[in-house]
Amino acid sequence: MSSNTPSLASLVLGSPRFSDARLAALASTDGPLAAWQAACAADASSAALQATGDFAVGLQEPSGRTFLAVDRFAIRSLCYRVVDGQIRFAGRADELADGADIDPQAIFDYLYFHAIPSPRTIFKGVFRLPPGHYALFEHGQLTVAPYWVPTFIEPRSASFSSLREEFRGLVRNAVNTQLDGGKAACFLSGGTDSSTVAGMLSEIGGKQGPKAATYSIGFDAEGYDEMEYARLASRHFGTEHHEYYVTPDDLVRSIADVARSYDQPFGNSSALPSYYCALKAKDDGVTKILAGDGGDELFGGNSRYAKQRVFGWYDRVPSGIRSGLMEPMLAKTAESSISLLSKASSYVEQAKVPLPDRLQMYNLLLRLGVNDVLTPAFLSQVNIQGPAEQQRGIWSLPTTGSQLNRMLAFDWRYTLAESDLPKVCGTTRLAGLGVGFPMLNEALLDFSLKLPLEYKLKGLKLRWFFKEALRGFLPDEILTKKKQGFGLPFGVWATRHDGLRAVATDSLNSLATRNIVRPEFIRSLLTERLQEHPGYFGEMVWILMMLEQWLQAHAPGYKMPA
């Protein structure tokens, strides 16, 4: 912790930029801590609105009041704990965990989401501040509330040409703002976002300056490698390109290190590829690497957005026809061998479920069956409906009349803030590398809030405006490719590589002794299901393995009572 007054604790993380001229000048001359103190003194409840960029701040003021806040996407993390009428705070949950018990509900949330969404952490009584939230602790009372909630404008029409030029300028400035003066570098998967960042880096560098460096990960497994697109982007923009092919031996060597590096269990399987990509950049002298995360979620690029629009068409069918004809007829044919009828029945089954619950109909834990996966002793300690209840609350927050924008804001919380950003931040931190997210620049965020709906999803065309605005800048092959990213072929490798299979087997057998997961489910998972469908069941093996690896490092004696 740092402080300009020895008797008062403070924690200032990240790179906040202050919109108020007085605060900006104060930050420049006296540092961001002084600017935060002045903002809080003026109005603590709106102090975080004065800052943009990535930040987390905790201040204990002379009055005794404590102020906490994190940025809109929680790129920087802040945890807190109230004990004996006093509040403590830190960047990591495990820094506040002395004497705290493991929370079974957090373990259930992890198995449901493959991460533990804020405000809960793995430790009872230790909480993480959600994105876009602040907290005030005064006279023993804690208030936690959002200081920012997405407000979508949703115009019916707009000038494409003027928006196109504005957008390109905003992206270029967002990339430029993230540079730290060192070697310009970015992750490059070959998708639209990372390729855009790579292109802007090359454009900013100019023909006479050093080339921007790009870093890509490949896998020697059919259907998992998209290095050809990364190479295409590198050639197109003339970057200094670097590649690393992750192997099963790499996973065996690093699974435990990556698992224990997080302050709580974390199951995003692309963390390992991200880690090796960051290591490669670090070895080359890069001090800060840029990531493309956020473009899909701000501009409508995930396939589920189109899929849910198709389900939304069902609501336009007159209710009498739905309930009196379609649903009874298709219910009778749900088990039909006729493919078309089966698909129609599945469509109706899903369309009848309201959002956001519909998004979890293929949730891995739910599909496998919580009662078949988890022990009765564990289930008696958790609220199975807890994740769904939280998601419904988050779904209702944004100011918008459209399903699409509500889904975007929903993904800002669950896809970005709770999964993808912790993945990248955690693995780059472990590699000793800084990271920036230009696609999450506040000016780009504000721009996306005002885009017409059809500019994000035109019919069923994903991120229409983003792609059209960059047509001629990005190669056509990248504009038309399907999204993939650094997907990890763990399940396939675990069935073929003795060392990796041993790590998985040992981890899951150890987990079986903790009375969380049914031993018979683990046996079936390892000996039958993984062999039958490595890609599908490999995901469950992975999240259970990473849970056990974390527990071995942080809570080796944890076990649910019988």
What whole-number distance in Å separates Cα of residue 291 and Cα of residue 274?
Answer: 10
Q: What is the pLDDT of residue 283?
A: 97
384 inside domain? no
* Structure tokens, 377: 């002793």
* Chain segment 180-200, per-residue pLDDT in tens: 999 999 999 999 999 999 999
Buried b (16+ CB within 10 A) or exposed e, 78-108: bbbbbeeeebbbbbbbbebbeebebbbbbbb
One domain, residues 79 and 172 = no
One domain, residues 203 and 290 = yes
364 inside domain? no
Report whether pLDDT(226) > 90.
no
The enclosing H or E element of 133 equals: strand 133-138
The residue-averaged pLDDT of 128-144 equals 97
Among 148, 126, 123, 147, smallest CA distance to 135 is for 147
The residue-averaged pLDDT of 398-418 equals 95
Q: What is the pLDDT of residue 206?
A: 58
Q: What is the pLDDT of residue 336?
A: 47
Q: Tell me phi and psi for residue 460, to 5 degrees.
A: -120, 15
Q: What is the pLDDT of residue 6?
A: 32
* Chain segment 422-449, per-residue pLDDT in tens: 999 999 999 999 999 999 999 999 999 9
What whole-number distance in Å separates Cα of residue 78 and Cα of residue 99?
Answer: 19
* Chain segment 517-554, per-residue pLDDT in tens: 999 999 999 999 999 999 999 999 999 999 999 999 99
The residue-averaged pLDDT of 500-525 equals 98
* Chain segment 299-309, per-residue pLDDT in tens: 999 999 999 99
One domain, residues 468 and 499 = no
One domain, residues 448 and 505 = no
Residue 472's domain is classified under what CATH number? 3.40.50.620
Which residue segment(s) compose the domain that 142 sits in?
A: 10-146
Report whether pLDDT(2) > 70.
no
431 inside domain? yes
Report whether pLDDT(341) > 90.
no
DSSP string, 115-176: S--TTB-SBTTEEEPPTTEEEEEETTEEEEEES---B----S---HHHHHHHHHHHHHHHHH
336 inside domain? no
* Chain segment 368-377, per-residue pLDDT in tens: 999 999 999 9
Q: Looking at the 3D structure of the chain, how many domains does it have?
A: 3
Among 184, 187, 177, 182, smallest CA distance to 54 is for 177
Residue 50's domain is classified under what CATH number? 3.60.20.10
Cα of 522 vs its chain's centroid, Å: 28
330 inside domain? no
What whole-number distance in Å separates Cα of residue 12 and Cα of residue 76?
Answer: 10
328 inside domain? no
Q: What is the pLDDT of residue 13?
A: 96
One domain, residues 430 and 296 = yes
One domain, residues 123 and 233 = no
* Chain segment 321-332, per-residue pLDDT in tens: 656 655 555 455
Q: What is the pLDDT of residue 400?
A: 87
Report whether pLDDT(106) > 80.
yes
The enclosing H or E element of 113 equals: helix 104-113
Q: What is the pLDDT of residue 209?
A: 66
333 inside domain? no
Q: What is the pLDDT of residue 288?
A: 97
One domain, residues 448 and 544 = no
One domain, residues 168 and 285 = yes
Report whether pLDDT(401) > 90.
no
One domain, residues 164 and 266 = yes
* Chain segment 359-368, per-residue pLDDT in tens: 999 999 999 9
pTM of the model: 0.93
Q: What is the pLDDT of residue 482?
A: 73
The residue-averaged pLDDT of 468-492 equals 86
